[in-house]
Amino acid sequence: MDEKTQKSLEKTLKFHASGLRIPEGAAKDFIDCTIKNVNKALKSKTLITKKDLDRIVYKELKKYSADLAYVYINYDKII
């Protein structure tokens, strides 16, 4: 994942975490672990789509916070 995409993803996840009132330290840990695991999962792929990225982020984020994962994947449907 390139730097721009990573920063954008981190910003989005922080926004959703603050909306769920997840403590800042815990949210940072969730996000850092998620991004690290997403980068590992994407290493073997040469081309990914937004949908692929969203699916992988959701799968990894769900391990740490099911609520945050749900809001991330369904944000456009919720609002």
pLDDT of res. 1: 83
Helix (H) or strand (E) holding 10: helix 3-19
Number of domains in the chain: 1
Please report which helix (H) or strand (E) contains residue 38, including its range: helix 24-42
Cβ within 8 Å of residue 8, ≥6 positions away: none
79 residues of the chain, pLDDT tens digit each: 889 999 999 999 999 999 999 999 999 999 999 999 999 999 988 899 999 999 999 999 999 999 999 999 999 887 6
* pTM exceeds 0.75: yes
Domain that holds residue 40: 3-78
**The predicted structure's pLDDT at residue 79:** 63
